[in-house]
């Protein structure tokens, strides 16, 4: 009995030992598969790995206000060849087809290789060791336009498609700008290696790219060489389309602004500059130009490298005096512009600092109007010190009422917040000289766009508009979202202050520092500004650098556009705002005036005044009925003599009016055709047998044959003007 029991236990233990050994072996194998040899099996799995990837959308266009393309995506194609495609049989890949394909590739795609070289290469790809890298995804051509894509797609073997011909076409989009540098930095970019998105392209990237959930899917196969190849033809997949972005930019105004700014930067050898044109009533940005000096291959040139208009925060200099004078008017400190203020011959000591006027004038005093028009630093600081010396906080608070402490909120990135010192904040480093220097545009920082937004509010009768660059988004021409003008503040100041501020700005151009840009056919209102960039309370360090500016609006009495021009570090031809920036403003304004009908007063807006005698169409001659019809159509009063027969002449009376008198014509003599058009003159002379030769254009000024001469076939020369 005991022996049987021992035998059973032995058998049980033996079975258990076998099971344990098997379990240990299985466990060791699992460890080997999941840990030791994991990378080997992952590599094998990856070589057959299939996954779905998004096919990027067709990026939307960026359009100008009139629909002109500012940025668009054009399709290009990368062509690859899969020599091991499943359906690529030897019947398809025959000698004749390969010879034809090699010749076509050499002729139309890459002539640097001979047909023989292509033939040998294709044959090598087809019959190489399957483990050789690249034979399943061989580059044939890159960045082919659509016409070349259609051509190569029709080549022998390739025409069989993806599976039978190994033809792989991948569509890629390239962003193109039809107007090249025009508004380049404002339009910006979203996908540039090593750079953050900027401009409209960056701020509206998700809208231009479309919704990711709408992207179609493409099946991709991973092949040896760590390469994914498409299972289907990528060129046949219709990608989702992003929305178009319609900007407020006007191509013509943008071109005028960039051309004028570039010419000024080149003329004055400036480091950089910017110009902005804004529509007064709406805040629409019609132009935003930025030019910066660049170095390439040892040569100096200019390009749109940075958006100075939005992102460069600087001390505005004398352009800021408009805010100072408005603060004085709002608090009732000044009212009479003829009031005299001491200017101390253009030099004054404030504590331990000396303040001087930019232009020596030698005057002891000036009127308030003169101080502003001639941009007297001493006069401006004297007024500010007089009324705000013991209440600096009230002055800064008034500037805040003008919204000068707030960013504009423009939709593109990069805008810096303004900096206004606060006398109640110890961190502001407020000193006894801060107030007078702030009054003339120092010890504070504003961007050009922020300065223009303030001037635009003055032009707009006090209504502060938010500047904006995009007015709507569209999808296939249908509006998706509209961005309307936005009023930030209904009024930044009283109407009395706004009206008087406009008077001061007009005086700058009429009699002040900007009188050199006064146009002939419309008025400009604005303010010059010159700032030192490296100064300590006007005690300039070595190598003085300046910034020239001009900000204003036009036409002065009924503003349509506001504009600012800022040019930094001009090195020749002057450095003051009146010399460097104001002429650019004038050129932009002239172009706008010439192009835009809304800037012109309608010719029938007022009742026409009677013409003076020297303005009358005197001594015009012709048929009586023709002259009569012309005068009636023009609405001109005239008296017709009773003796007028078939021909007549208009003669101006001493008083306002015209007389239609008889022009005597004899059948046998040379008639007087002076004052007639060429048609009537030839008719009369040739009917009397004369030959006619005309010199010039217009009506007959004189004739070679005297009236009354007997007509017998002579040549009569008519002189026209």
**Do strands 272-279 and 561-568 pair parallel, antiparallel, or not at all (unpaired)?**
antiparallel
* pLDDT single digits (tens) 8-46: 777 777 877 888 888 888 888 877 777 777 666 665 555
Residues in contact with 207: Cβ distance below 8 Å, sequence separation at least 6, in sequence order:
60, 242, 243, 245, 473
Map tokens 């998105």 to a residue.
197
Q: Which fold has domain 52-185+205-243?
A: Penicillin-binding protein 2a (Domain 2) (3.90.1310)
Say yes or no to pLDDT of 229 above 70. Answer: no
Mean pLDDT of the chain: 86
C-alpha dist (Å) from residue 514 to 32, 146, 498, 517, 521: 86, 55, 20, 6, 16
Listed by start position, the domains of the chain span 2-36, 52-185+205-243, 259-599, 613-720
> Please, which pLDDT band fits residue 654 given cuts at 50, 70 and 90?
low
Q: Give pLDDT, residue 653.
A: 66
Q: Do 259-599 and 52-185+205-243 have the same topology in CATH?
A: no
Using CA atoms, how far apart are residues 201 and 187, in angstroms rounded to an integer? 6
Q: List residues bridging with 561 in a β-sheet.
A: 279, 554
C-alpha dist (Å) from residue 442 to 132, 449, 541: 70, 17, 16
Q: Under CATH, which number does the domain 259-599 receive?
A: 3.40.710.10
Using CA atoms, how far apart are residues 415 and 171, in angstroms rounded to an integer? 36
Out of 338-347, 612-621, 636-645, the most confident range is 338-347
> Please, which pLDDT band fits residue 615 given cuts at 50, 70 and 90?
low
8 Å CB contact between 262 and 254:
no
Out of 156-170, 200-214, 258-272, the most confident range is 258-272
Question: pTM of the prediction?
Answer: 0.74
Q: Give pLDDT, residue 134.
A: 44
């Amino acid at each position: 009995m005991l022996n049987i029991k021992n035998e059973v236990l032995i058998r049980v233990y033996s079975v258990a030992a076998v099971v344990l050994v098997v379990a240990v072996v299985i466990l060791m194998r699992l460890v080997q598969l999941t840990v030791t040899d994991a990378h080997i099996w992952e590599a094998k799995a990856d070589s057959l790995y299939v996954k779905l990837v998004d096919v990027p959308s067709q990026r939307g266009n960026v359009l100008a206000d009139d629909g002109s393309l500012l940025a668009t995506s054009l399709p290009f194609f990368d062509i690859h060849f899969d020599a091991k495609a499943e359906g690529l049989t030897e019947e398809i890949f025959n000698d004749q087809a390969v010879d034809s394909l090699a010749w076509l590739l050499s002729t139309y795609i890459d002539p640097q290789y001979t047909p023989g070289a292509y033939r040998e290469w294709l044959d090598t790809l087809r019959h190489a060791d399957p483990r050789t890298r690249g034979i399943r995804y061989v580059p044939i051509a890159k960045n082919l336009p659509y016409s070349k894509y259609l051509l190569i797609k029709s080549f022998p073997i390739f025409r069989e498609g993806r599976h039978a011909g190994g033809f792989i076409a991948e569509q890629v989009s390239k962003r193109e700008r039809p107007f090249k540098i025009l508004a380049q930095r404002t339009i910006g970019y979203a996908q540039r290696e090593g750079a953050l998105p900027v401009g409209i392209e960056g701020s509206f990237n998700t809208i231009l790219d479309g919704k990711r959930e709408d992207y179609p899917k493409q099946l991709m196969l991973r092949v040896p060489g760590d390469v994914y190849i498409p299972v289907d033809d990528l060129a046949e997949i219709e990608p989702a389309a992003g929305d178009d972005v319609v900007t407020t930019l006007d191509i013509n105004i943008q071109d005028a602004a960039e051309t004028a700014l570039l010419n000024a930067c080149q003329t004055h050898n400036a480091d950089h500059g910017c110009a902005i044109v804004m529509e007064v009533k709406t805040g629409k940005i019609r132009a935003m130009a930025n030019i910066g000096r660049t170095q390439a291959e040892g040569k100096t040139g200019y390009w749109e490298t940075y958006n100075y208009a939005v992102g460069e925060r600087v001390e505005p200099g004398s352009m800021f005096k408009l805010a100072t004078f408005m603060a004085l008017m709002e608090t009732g400190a000044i009212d009479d512009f003829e009031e005299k203020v001491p200017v101390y011959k253009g030099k004054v000591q404030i504590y331990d600092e000396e303040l001087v006027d930019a232009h020596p004038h030698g005057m002891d005093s000036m009127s308030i109007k003169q101080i502003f028009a001639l941009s007297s630093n001493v006069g401006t600081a004297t007024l500010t010190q007089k009324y705000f010396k013991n209440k600096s906080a009230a002055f800064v608070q008034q500037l805040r009422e003008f919204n000068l402490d707030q960013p504009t909120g423009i939709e593109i990135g990069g805008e810096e917040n303004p900096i206004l010192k606060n006398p109640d904040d110890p961190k502001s480093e407020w000193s006894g000289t801060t107030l007078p220097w702030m009054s003339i545009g120092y010890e504070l920082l504003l961007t050009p766009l922020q300065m223009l937004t303030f001037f635009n509010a003055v032009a707009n009768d006090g209504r502060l508009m938010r500047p904006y660059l995009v007015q709507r988004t569209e999808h296939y021409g249908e509006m998706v979202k509209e961005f309307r003008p936005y009023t930030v503040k209904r009024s930044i100041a009283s109407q009395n202050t706004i009206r008087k501020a406009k008077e001061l700005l007009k005086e700058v151009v009429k009699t002040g520092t900007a009188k050199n840009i006064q146009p002939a056919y419309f008025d400009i209102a604005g303010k010059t500004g010159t700032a030192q960039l490296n100064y300590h309370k006007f005690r300039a360090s070595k190598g003085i650098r300046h910034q020239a500016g001009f900000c204003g609006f036009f036409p002065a009495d009924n503003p349509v556009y506001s504009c600012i021009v800022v040019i930094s570090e001009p090195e020749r031809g002057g450095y003051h705002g009146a010399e460097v920036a104001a002429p650019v403003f004038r050129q932009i304004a002239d172009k706008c005036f010439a192009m835009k009908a809304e800037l012109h007063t309608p010719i029938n807006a007022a009742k026409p005044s009677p013409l003076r005698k020297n303005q009358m169409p005197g001594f015009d001659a012709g048929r009586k009925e023709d002259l009569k019809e012309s005068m009636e159509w023009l609405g001109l009063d005239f008296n017709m003599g009773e003796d007028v027969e078939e021909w007549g002449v208009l003669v101006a009376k001493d008083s306002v009016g015209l007389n239609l008198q008889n022009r005597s014509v004899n059948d046998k003599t040379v008639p007087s055709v002076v004052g007639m058009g060429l048609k009537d003159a030839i008719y009369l002379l040739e009917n009397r047998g004369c030959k006619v030769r005309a010199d010039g254009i217009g009506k007959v000024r004189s004739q070679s044959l005297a009236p009354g001469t007997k007509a017998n076939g002579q040549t009569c020369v008519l002189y026209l003007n």
